[in-house]
Structure 1
Amino acid sequence: MTDPSPFAPQPSFQALTALNERAREIFRQIVESYLTTGEPVGSRNLARILPMGLSPASIRNVMSDLEHSGLIFAPHTSAGRLPTEQGLRFFVDAMLELGDVGREEQERIEAQMRAAASRHTFDSALAEASTLLSGISRGAGVVLTTKQNVHLKHIEFVRLDPARALVVLVSDDGSVENRLLDLPPGMPAGALQEASNFLNARLQGRTLGTLRAEIEAGRQEMKRELDAITERLVDAGLATSVGPTEARQLIVRGQANLLDDLRAVEDLERIRLLFNDLETQKDVIDLLARAEGGDGVRIFIGSENKLFSLSGSSLIAAPFRDGSQKIVGVVGVIGPTRLNYARIVPMVDYTARVVSKMLDRGT
């Protein structure tokens, strides 16, 4: 079972955690009914399903207290009750019982991602991860990554003038990226070609992050093979390629799933707003980047984040790491606030660990 401790720290719920057993059970039933059906539940229905044999009148008294605490609300005067966003956060942080990722599901996730990577590129494996999470959640699967996760085919240093060179990076998918590099003074004529040969001999489809980690681990070997100036050139080329301003890549799959469960006009408007959010990639990227701030799964619910303040959506996301254990991206699921958290949280966590394992092995 996935440990819920990686969730983002939240405001104190001391008053809420003081709820007695009866109030907690009624609240649990309201939330679980909402997550299953999306519909409000009333005191008469609760009286039929609660194990403690309470009358509808007694249940209404408890519901009144829960409403006063800000955990539930009535969407209409005569309707049943739904959890508020604060109530959902309390449920996720204090009451959620997470499921396990079964052995069969683990093997399926790993097999599909390996197959995608072997057929095409590591980017294909990331797209497969997004598709898998979309299918599991019936929401939108998302992956945020950086240029350093692209598998490389070739690196070349090209002199522009005595003080500058161009670093040319060719990826497995055929994309080319050029970066300017300041040359160290007194660099011998053959140093650029020697640095290119040294790096290309070690690429073998590795990512920039993995290559950098392996060269750092084999520092003594590099010192034996290269003179000091060429060694500095190799370091400068890699540092230029994986700097803090590297471009972000956002992969989204399964947006159409978000249309499958519309119940009212207001639901259609909510989905329209969410689609607009997804099209505004910068805001999605900024939100996903917040999930890179620590280990484990992060959950953002509704107005807790500016991006989803209008569309009433949730994000479940977990970071993944490269071979040097640096966080280099995020996988996750975006959907309505009534996502199946118990099932999706461990799935997102496991998928992130599979991606990290592939990066560690240089897959």
Structure 2
Amino acid sequence: MNTRDLPPLPAGPGQARSLAELNERSREIFRQIVESYLATGEPVGSRNLARILPMTLSPASVRNVMADLEQAGLIYAPHTSAGRLPTETGLRFFVDALLELGDVGQEEQGRIEAQMRAAASRHTFETALTEASVMLSGISRGAGVVVTTKQNANLRHVEFVRLDPGRALVVLVSEDGSVENRLVDLPPGLPAGALQEASNFLNARIRGRTLGEVRAEIEASREAMKRELDALTERLVDAGLARSVGPSEERHLIVRGQANLLEDLRAAEDLERIRLLFSDLESQKDVIDLLTRAEGGEGVRIFIGSENKLFSLSGSSMIAAPFHDGRQKIVGVVGVIGPTRLNYARIVPMVDFTARVMSRMLENGRV
């Protein structure tokens, strides 16, 4: 895996030209600044850089290069006479052009797959997703996140049950044994046998398929449904499908490991940043919207700081990768949210491998 799947560096034409023109010495100094930040969170100065560089340069020469990097918008000084830290643009450049990804070792691969198989053996899709988020939070010391569509599960049975003259319960039984209940309003004047007729109509089409797939088929053959059902029963079928796969319920978010984000706080501003991130995570719609952006294609996506409105205040990053089912349809995203100084080299391949394991399990019908 490489960083070709990542979003492009958000730079203007002049800045992009400056970045492309960085020589090897400048890139090495910039790399050391970023790697020091990712490891410690602290700024690094020219004297320390001169000692750790693989080439012989005086602190004065290093300072000259740092001045050029600062002018290019890649680094900045948090305080007067302090060392330098990477800007968000600098982090994006590092991720896109300089990041050297590690490998997921055989032992770690085996542990991840074993944990996912154990979760799958408990026979619910959500159990496996929760295990993935817990596992990634432990690996990254950030928050593990997963989002998927509630309509992923293949259904075994649908039943309409009248509660009172104006309402009915739609009971959805999935092949994995999970059950969901949804309330629907009944059309006035609905015949006594319409609930059973609607149940029979859907059960003849739904077994082994998702509600989304059945809804798409019914929309495509609307005239045939009109001939088979009377108008009120047709409205009942529509209501059941719409209530079950409506926009407010299409996405399901799992977040685990928020407490990890409280570790290694270095200053009051860190605590405020984490408070803002917790607030972001509570806004599930925005988190889901951001994760959904990672469904745009195969491979890992990285979102850094104010590149997206969700993290514009907390200065956080997200690493995410989509997973797909046996029909190669993307059905969800798994990832990690944490501070911008996440260990990208380690977490990117971990997220990618976890998404691949989830895809294989779905392809093999194990969740």
Instruction: Give the TM-score of the pair, scaled to structure 1.
Output: 0.82
Check conservation: 2:101, 2:346, Cα contact below 8 A: yes
- Indicate whether 1:138 and 2:141 are aligned: yes
- Indicate whether 1:99 and 2:102 are aligned: yes
Q: Which residue identity does 2:322 align to in structure 1?
A: P
Poorly superposed stretches of 4+, deviation over 6 Å: 179-182, 188-191, 235-240
- Alpha carbons of structure 1 residues 281 and 239: separation in structure 2 relative to 1, 3 Å: closer
Q: Which residue identity does 2:319 align to in structure 1?
A: I
CA offsets, 1:286-318, max 9 Å, x none? 211211222211111011111111111001111
CA distance in 1, matches of 2:168, 2:363: 30
Equivalent residue, structure 2, for 1:352: 355
Aligned-partner SS, 1:329: strand
Listed as ranges, the gaps of 5+ residues in structure 1 are 183-187, 217-227
Equivalenced residues, count: 348
CA RMSD of aligned residues (A): 3.7
By how many angstroms is 1:98 displaced?
0.9
Give 1:68-83 correspondences, 5 Å limit: 68-83=71-86
Identical positions, percent? 74
Equivalent residue, structure 1, for 2:221: none
Moved more, 49-58 or 110-119: 110-119
Moved more, 74-83 or 3-12: 3-12
Q: Which residue identity does 1:7 align to in structure 2?
A: L
Equivalent residue, structure 1, for 2:295: 292
CA distance in 2, matches of 1:52, 1:343: 26
- Indicate whether 1:67 and 2:70 are aligned: yes
CA distance in 2, matches of 1:103, 1:130: 20
Q: Which residue identity does 1:14 align to in structure 2?
A: R
Aligned-partner SS, 2:319: strand
CA distance in 2, matches of 1:143, 1:58: 46
By how many angstroms is 1:14 displaced?
3.1
By how many angstroms is 1:246 displaced?
4.2
By how many angstroms is 1:155 displaced?
2.3
Listed as ranges, the gaps of 5+ residues in structure 2 are 188-192, 218-226
Check conservation: 2:133, 2:335, Cα contact below 8 A: yes
Aligned-partner SS, 1:325: coil
- Indicate whether 1:176 and 2:181 are aligned: yes
- Indicate whether 1:10 and 2:39 are aligned: no
By how many angstroms is 1:154 displaced?
3.4
By how many angstroms is 1:153 displaced?
5.7
By how many angstroms is 1:133 displaced?
0.7
Moved more, 47-56 or 323-332: 323-332
Q: 1:311 aligns with which of 310, 314, 320?
A: 314
CA distance in 2, matches of 1:238, 1:324: 22
By how many angstroms is 1:42 displaced?
0.7
Check conservation: 1:155, 1:199, Cα contact below 8 A: no
By how many angstroms is 1:272 displaced?
0.7
- Alpha carbons of structure 1 residues 78 and 267: separation in structure 2 relative to 1, 3 Å: same
Check conservation: 2:158, 2:199, Cα contact below 8 A: no
- Alpha carbons of structure 1 residues 20 and 29: separation in structure 2 relative to 1, 3 Å: same
Equivalent residue, structure 2, for 1:323: 326
